Amino acid sequence: MIFKRAIPVTIFRAVGLWAIALCGFGISLQSADSVVAEPGINGRSSENSRMELLDDERILRVGDRLLFRVLEEREQALPIFVNDQGQINLPLVGQLDARGKTCRALAYEIKSSLEKTYFYRATVILDFQYSENTRGQVNVAGAVRNQRAYPIPNDRILTVSGAIISAGGMTAEADPRRVVLVRRNQEGEEQRRFEINVQEVLDAGNLEADMPVQADDLIVVPRRTEAGGTAYVVGAVNSPGVINVPADGSLTVSGAILQRGGFSRFARQRTVKLIRGDSSVPIEERTRTINVEAILERGARENDIAVEPDDIIRVEERLIAF
């Protein structure tokens, strides 16, 4: 009787242990399913959310400097740039067209390409190559003490007068009543031009007349009116600054560049921009692209346009990939 009674107890204990094991296994499966299904636990959703934070407003344009990395590689970001054809060149992917796309849109295109062959999952980060504390740069030229590009801080608004102060202030010959702010569109062409009376801002405290600057804006501080007027050469030349424009119209674009010391080492000599200062000219007709290399090296003088007062000659820098 003892044996018979022991058997059911043994069986009960065995069945109980199996039931507990199976229940535990079921719980484990359920927990595993929960881990996969719950957003962000295994990193997939959280990594996709990283890509959703990428810039989706500013359209990429020629000359943009970017930082590229794939989070799964755990390596430093790779500096890249948008070349003259509007393309970027990436390891494993090759050349991709960046024209008309934002950082986020292009990042997802890169992600799709990488996941076809090289990655099970690729979290692509594509950002503008700005410091973490800045949101781009503003160029200050003309009658200021230090003509160059200045960073726009992330934590405060930078105005036209503030940018001029960052440039060391105006020189003695500056005309603060006619400061010009040139704002470019997504393609890098002039979009709008504003004239600002900085003297009124600084002397009378009229802060409403002081405009906040945006990335890639150009501020030009003119000199007091001289015979024929003045124009401005900015960008990749050896000595950016103001030039006098003769009243007889004899100064051309190539001559203006030579007056400012000629092109710097990595200047884009074939795509020099001449931006007319005459506000009566329609915006779409104000910007001309001139191949100054052909003028200087091949004597194509018929393409050398005369410079007019208040014109801006912009020489972009040719970026080099390593």
Which of these, 100, 322, 64, lies nearest to 109 by C-alpha position? Answer: 100
The one-character DSSP state at 225 is: P
Token pair 């069945």 is found at 15
Which of these, 148, 197, 143, lies nearest to 174 by C-alpha position? Answer: 143
Give me 20's structure tokens: 């507990």
Give me 136's structure tokens: 């781009």
Say which residues have a Cβ less than 8 Å from residue 16's Cβ, sequence separation at least 6: none
Q: Which domains does the chain have, with CATH numbers?
A: 44-128 (3.30.1950.10), 133-224 (3.10.560.10), 227-322 (3.10.560.10)
Residue pair 312/231 in contact by the 8 Å Cβ criterion: yes
Residue pair 210/159 in contact by the 8 Å Cβ criterion: yes
**pLDDT for 135:** 76
Residue pair 56/103 in contact by the 8 Å Cβ criterion: yes
- Residue 166 sits at φ, ψ, to 5 deg, of -60, -30
Instruction: Name residues of the chain where pLDDT drops below 50.
Output: 1-44, 321-322
pLDDT in tens, 160-199: 999 998 898 888 788 888 899 998 765 556 678 899 999 8
Using only C-alpha atoms, the chain has a radius of gyration, in whole angstroms, of: 31
Residue pair 219/166 in contact by the 8 Å Cβ criterion: no
**pLDDT for 11:** 43
DSSP 22-91: HHHHHHHHHHHHHHHHSTTSSSHHHHHHHHHTS--SSPP-TT-EEEEEEGGG--PPEEEE--TTSEEEET
Which of these, 92, 90, 162, lies nearest to 126 by C-alpha position? Answer: 90
Give me 49's structure tokens: 């959310």
- What are the strands of the beta sheet with 312-315, ordered from one edge? 241-244, 230-235, 312-315, 272-275, 287-290
Say which residues have a Cβ less than 8 Å from residue 192's Cβ, sequence separation at least 6: 182, 183, 283
pLDDT in tens, 246-261: 877 788 999 899 888 8
Helix (H, G, I), strand (E, B) or coil at 136: strand
